[in-house]
Structure 1
Amino acid sequence: MPPAGPFNLPIRQVAYFCPDVRAAALAHHRLFGSGPFFVADRIALAASVHRGVERPFVHSSAYGQWGEVMVEFVQQDEPGPSALHDLYPAGSGRWGLHHVAVFVDDVDAAAAQFADRGCPLAQRSVMPGGLVFAFADTSAALGHMTELYAPTRALTGFYRMIAEAARNWQGGDVLIPLSL
C-alpha cells in the first residue's frame, strides 16, 4: 500500500511558465490537437504571500484540456519575486514546466505536510472569491512546484467546463477570452 499523505494524489493539471500564454497555447494545439484554450488576462488576486512576504502576483493564464488532464500556460505580467520566478528568474529567457496541481482537503494542512517532508511553501494566494491556492516547492525532489487547492464547487465546475469544451469542440477559435 502506498504511503498516506500529500504525495499520493492524482495530478489534475500540468502547468508551464512561458513568456506568452497565447503563443504557448497555439503551439500546444498545433503539436497535440488540444483546445480550445480559455485565456484570462491579468488575473486579480485578493492577496498573495511569496516566501513569507506579501507581494503582488499579477499573471495571465491559458487553460485547456490535454487528454485527461488540464494544461495551463502561465505568464507573469509584472516584475517581482514569485513562485514562477523561483524556477524561472526574470530576464533569464528560460521557461518550461512549472508545476503540477493536485486537489487537497485543506490547503494549509497539505502545505504543512509538504513542508514537513522538506518541500517548503513558496507561495500562498487568495482569489477575490476566497479560493486559496498554494505552491509547495517540490523542485528539489521533483524538478517543479506542486500547486495545492481544495476542490470547491466553483473549482471543480471550472475543470468540468474546460474538459467539456474540449470534448464538444468542433474546431474554430483556439483562444477564447475568459474573465476570472
Structure 2
Amino acid sequence: MLAVRQLAYKINDLEAAAEAHHRQFGSGPFFVLRHVVLASSQHRGVERPFDHSSAYGQWGDMMVELVVQHNPDPSALHDMFPHGSRAEGLHHAALFVDDLAAAIARFESEGAPLAQLSVTAGGTAFAFVDTRASLGHMLELYEPTEQLTGFYDFVAAAAQGWDGRDLLRELG
C-alpha cells in the first residue's frame, strides 16, 4: 500500500500560511527552509531552475508542507498554479516508494506522466507525477532514505507536547 505521508499546499506567503494553518488546525511547529538548494531539476524533461521555499509542520499524524516558488520558470507547481497567479491550494500528496524509477514508470503506464524530477543538494531525489486527471492534484514520490525519514521523525517529534510558541523555526 502506498500511504500518504504528506499533504502540500502552494501558498503565497509562508509566514501567513503557517499562522493560518496553525490557527485553523493546530498544526505546527513549522520548520522553514528558504530557497531549497537543488543539484538538478527537470520539468517535463528540460533542466530548469526550481527556486522554492517550504515550511514543514505536523498536522495530526501527517506532515504538511507549505511551498512557494520564487522564480517564474515552468515547474510542476506552475503546472497547477501558473506564475503570477495568486491562487493557493492543494498541490500534491507525498508517498514513499521502494524504487523511484519503477514507481515513475508505473504511474506513466497508468496515464500519469512525470512532470518534474529534482535532486536536492544532499542527494534526495523527488518526483512529481501528474495525477491531476484522476486525483485533481500531483503526487510526489520519493524513496524513504534514512535522511528523509529522519526529517519526518524530527518534525513529528517537535509537535509532541508543543505549547504553540515559536511557530516558525528557520532551518539551514
TM-score of the superposition, structure 2-length normalised? 0.98
Secondary structure in structure 1 of the residue aligned to 2:78: helix
Question: Any idea what the Cα deviations from partners look like across 1:107-132, whole Å, max 9, x if unmatched?
Answer: 11101100000000000000112110
Aligned equivalent of 2:40, options 47, 64, 69: 47
1:1-180 to 2 correspondences below 5 Å? 8-179=1-172
- Segments of structure 2 that go 5 or more residues without pairing to the other structure are none
Question: Any idea what the Cα deviations from partners look like across 1:45-102, whole Å, max 9, x if unmatched?
Answer: 0000000100000100000000010000000011110000000011222110000000
| Identity value in percent | 62
- Segments of structure 1 that go 5 or more residues without pairing to the other structure are 1-7
State how many pairs are aligned.
Answer: 172
- Dislocated runs of 4+, deviation >6 Å: none
Contact 1:38–1:176 (8 Å) recurs in 2: yes
Secondary structure in structure 2 of the residue aligned to 1:134: strand
Contact 1:48–1:55 (8 Å) recurs in 2: yes
In 1, Cα distance between the equivalents of 2:117 and 2:6? 18
In 2, Cα distance between the equivalents of 1:13 and 1:123? 18
Which stretch of the first structure deviates more once superposed, 169-178 or 149-158?
169-178
In 2, Cα distance between the equivalents of 1:22 and 1:42? 15
Once the two structures are TM-superposed, the CA of residue 171 in structure 1 deviates from its matched residue by 2.6
Secondary structure in structure 2 of the residue aligned to 1:34: coil
Once the two structures are TM-superposed, the CA of residue 35 in structure 1 deviates from its matched residue by 0.9
TM-score of the superposition, structure 1-length normalised? 0.93
Secondary structure in structure 2 of the residue aligned to 1:46: strand
Secondary structure in structure 2 of the residue aligned to 1:93: coil
